[in-house]
A = this chain, B = another copy of it.
Amino acid sequence: MIKTPYLLFLGDAPDQLAVKVAQGIKDWRPENALGQYRMEGCKADLKLPDMDLAQAREAGAKTLVIGVANRGGLISAAWKKVLVTALEEGFDLASGLHNLLRDEPDLVAVAKATGRSLHDVRVPSVKYPIANGVKRRGKRVLAVGTDCSVGKMYTGLAMDAEMRRRGLKSTFRSTGQTGILITGDGVPLDAVIADFMAGSVEWLTPDNDDDHWDIIEGQGSIFHVSYSGVTMALIHGGQPDALILSHEPTREHMRGLPGYALPTLEALRDTALPLARVANPACEVVGVAVNTQHLGEDEAAAYLSQVETRMGLPATDPYRFGAGKLVDALAAY
């Protein structure tokens, strides 16, 4: 568990896109985002108070979160100086970079000397069990996509936010590095050893109150040949009571797989639901989340309306139009 609240390190980000992890934290856990730390030449701005390390400590920040993707995959000397100083000032560090904090001997030495923690959220820190398939109490919902990167994480975060707004019980369960940095914990599922994937999802979504919903972050797609095994482990380890179908309607082929067409929403439903019912016979598909970012406002509304008619399910773009319809569907479950 990463200590909150955070100071968000934007480094020398070349553009706004490079800080999307930090943006996610600000969007979905604004209470965790006390301020931003920008270095000389930083081209990104989250519209958060700029703070140096001392100011952030004063404001109560506990962890410096690397909220920026680095070029070349290496932690630069300029970054390193800030990170070392942060440890000395009393911050823990958290990062989703490929270049692990724990692989930097100087950071390890300073963290040890100062008693601080280094959180590399890209690699598991838990010895997960093998899944046992035992039915757990409480409810679970999982977004499954026609492809990777169609908005499953944002859909889940938007549903979680809407449920809290309504005073319903919900927990967003992160299964990827960005999600883990946003919420402060979770399972980096793509880095888990094959035999323990489903078990790690069971571990992440334990027994809970009967009226509590775990909103499990989806990964990959059962139709994406590179990552379908990860998706399968979510479907069986998660024992979802409800599935949300996620789609991006302008994608021309599966992400990274030229020549692989996206499945239809019908094919996704007809494939994912029987598989989910192996682990939870009561599972139902309850709604459709469409990422309409490449459609105009009218076009998006027309597309959603057409999907609702075709599929007989509520459909929305939860980021653009809110997750109300999806939460209505869960509340009615």
A residues with a Cβ closer than 8 A to B are: 130-133, 189-195, 197-199, 222-223, 225-233, 235-237, 254, 256-257, 259-260, 263, 271, 274-275, 278-279
Contacts and interface: CB of A to CB of B under 8 A. Distances in A.
A229 B194 contact: yes
A97 to B, nearest CB: 16
Contact of A193 (B192, B223, B231, B254): B192
Interface centre among A133, A275, A278 (most CB of B within 10 A): A278
Given A194-B189, A197-B194, A279 B225 contact: yes
B131 A198 contact: no
30 contacts: A130-B226, A131-B225, A132-B257, A133-B254, A133-B257, A133-B259, A189-B194, A190-B194, A190-B195, A191-B194, A191-B195, A192-B193, A192-B194, A193-B193, A194-B229, A194-B230, A195-B227, A195-B230, A198-B225, A222-B275, A223-B278, A225-B236, A226-B236, A228-B236, A228-B278, A229-B231, A232-B232, A260-B278, A263-B278, A271-B275
A131 B194 contact: no
> What is the total number of copies of this protein in its complex?
2
A135 to B, nearest CB: 8
Q: Is the interface of A mostly helix, strand, loop or mixed?
A: helix
A229 B225 contact: no
Contacts of A274: 271
Given A236-B228, A260-B133, A193 B191 contact: yes
Nearest to A259: B133
A225 B193 contact: no
A190 B193 CA distance: 7
Nearest to A226: B131
A190 B199 CA distance: 13
Contact of A233 (B132, B190, B228, B275): B228
Contacts of A189: 194
Contacts of A192: 193-194
Contacts of A237: 225
B194 A233 contact: yes
B229 A197 contact: yes
Contacts of A223: 278
Contact of A229 (B226, B229, B257): B229
Given A198-B226, A232-B232, 20 more contacts: A130-B226, A131-B226, A132-B257, A133-B260, A189-B194, A190-B193, A190-B195, A191-B193, A194-B197, A194-B233, A195-B226, A198-B225, A199-B226, A222-B232, A226-B236, A229-B229, A229-B231, A229-B232, A263-B278, A271-B275
Closest 5 A/B residue pairs (Cβ): A229-B233, A225-B236, A229-B229, A232-B232, A131-B226
A198 B228 contact: yes
